[in-house]
Amino acid sequence: MHVRVLAVGDRQPAWVDTAVTGYAGRLPPAWRFRVDVLPAVKRGGRERPAEARDLESDRLLKKLGDDFLVLLDERGKALSSVELSRQLASWQHDGRNLCFAIGGADGVSEAVRQRADFCWSLSSLTLPHGLARIFCVEQLYRAWSLEAGHPYHRA
């Protein structure tokens, strides 16, 4: 099984990439974990946010294939780390590759929401995209460590 994060927005500070790479390096090699980044649509005076969102969403959908899609969305279901660990184990038994998607600055289209197999809320707070990437990968590592009996998570 492969696990990846598919994120819209290619201009993140170096500290975001450093943190994501640090946690990603701790994930099990069998996951073949990677982060795929899609460029954000440039927003100018003529480009309306809904049009940019729809273009980004179309690009995202084209990159999915038949992956089990977990959409990160503030309106999604909040999970504790323990609940995420259990959920991750369940998704792994599904047999499909896992994709955790983070939309652009204006979110995702209804088509992406409909395609999602699960909507996950990292927080009821609105997070900058870089922090959402870091939180996502850290929580994946934490969930794996719980399932593996690794001492990283301390209750």
| Mean pLDDT for the chain overall | 92
3-state secondary structure of 143: helix
In a 13 Å sphere around the CA of 32, the CA atoms on its Cβ side amount to 5
3-state secondary structure of 3: strand
Give per-residue pLDDT as tens, 25-35.
Answer: 999 999 999 99
Alpha carbon distances (Å) from 66 to 61, 63, 69, 96: 10, 10, 8, 7
41 pLDDT higher than 80: yes
75 pLDDT higher than 80: yes
C-alpha–C-alpha distance, residues 8 and 31, integer Å: 21
Give the tokens for residue 114.
Answer: 């409909």
Q: What is the pLDDT of residue 60?
A: 96
C-alpha–C-alpha distance, residues 116 and 23, integer Å: 25
Beta carbons of 43 and 104 less than 8 angstroms apart: no
Q: Which domains does the chain have, with CATH numbers?
A: 3-148 (3.40.1280.10)
Q: What is the pLDDT of residue 95?
A: 85
Q: HEC string of 37-85?
A: EECCCCCCCCCCHHHHHHHHHHHHHHCCCCCEEEEEEEEEEECCHHHHH
Beta carbons of 108 and 101 less than 8 angstroms apart: yes
